[in-house]
Amino acid sequence: MSRLEDLIAELCPDGVGYYDLEKICEISKGIQFNKADMQEEGTYPVINGGISPSGYIEQFNQSGNTITISQGGASAGYVNWIETNFWAGAHCYILKPTYRVLNRYLFHFVKGQEKRLQECQYGAGIPALGKATVASLQIPVPPLEVQREIVRVLDNFTELTAELTAELTARKQQYEYYRTAMFEFNEVATVSLEEISENCDSQRRPVTKGDRTSGIYPYYGASGIVDYVDDYIFDGDYLLVSEDGANLLARVTPIAFPISGKNWVNNHAHILKFKDWYDQRYVEIYLNGIDLSKYISGAAQPKLNQKNLNLIPIPFPSREERRKIVDVLDKFDRFCNDISEGLPAEITARQKQYEYYRDKLLSFKKI
Q: Are strands 25-29 and 44-47 parallel, antiparallel or unpaired?
A: unpaired
Task: Flag whether pLDDT at 178 surpasses 80.
Answer: no
Please enumerate in sequence order all residues whose Cβ is within 8 A of that of 322, keeping only pairs 6 or more positions apart, or say none: 278, 279, 282, 316
Report whether 10 contacts 145 (CB < 8 A). no
The parent domain of residue 158 ranges over 1-14+143-188+317-367
Quote the strand ranges of the chain, DSSP E.
Answer: 17-20, 25-29, 44-47, 55-57, 66-70, 79-82, 87-88, 92-97, 138-141, 190-191, 198-199, 214-221, 224-229, 234-242, 256-265, 269-273, 314-315
Number of structural domains (the chain) is 3
What pLDDT is recorded for position 340? 57
One domain, residues 44 and 1: no
What pLDDT is recorded for position 269? 96
Nearest partner of 96 among 160, 32, 29, judged by Cα: 29
One domain, residues 289 and 245: yes
Query: Cα–Cα distance between 194 and 310 in angstroms, integer?
Result: 6
Task: Flag whether pLDDT at 339 surpasses 80.
Answer: no
- Signed CA dihedral, 353, 354, 355, 356: sign only: positive
Q: What is the mean pLDDT of residues 65-82?
A: 94
One domain, residues 113 and 215: no
One domain, residues 211 and 280: yes
Report whether 161 contacts 351 (CB < 8 A). yes
Q: What is the pTM of this model?
A: 0.66
One domain, residues 184 and 100: no
Task: Flag whether pLDDT at 217 surpasses 60.
Answer: yes
Report whether 357 contacts 154 (CB < 8 A). yes
- Signed CA dihedral, 266, 247, 241, 339: sign only: negative
One domain, residues 151 and 6: yes
Q: What is the mean pLDDT of residues 253-264?
A: 95
Query: Cα–Cα distance between 201 and 309 in angstroms, integer?
Result: 12
Q: What is the DSSP letter of 203?
A: G
One domain, residues 251 and 178: no
CATH number, residue 207: 3.90.220.20
Report whether 44 contacts 85 (CB < 8 A). yes
One domain, residues 257 and 267: yes
One domain, residues 174 and 199: no
What pLDDT is recorded for position 130? 95
One domain, residues 85 and 222: no
One domain, residues 170 and 98: no
Task: Flag whether pLDDT at 211 surpasses 70.
Answer: yes
- pLDDT-derived band of residue 338, with 50, 70 and 90 as boundaries? low
Q: What is the mean pLDDT of residues 254-266?
A: 95
What does pLDDT average to over the chain?
Answer: 91
Q: What is the mean pLDDT of residues 5-23?
A: 89
Report whether 259 contacts 233 (CB < 8 A). no
One domain, residues 134 and 27: yes
What angle (nearest 5°) sits at the alpha carbon of residue 169, between those of residues 165 and 170? 115
pLDDT tens digits, one per residue of 320-336:
999 999 998 888 877 76
Helix, coil or strand: residue 112: helix
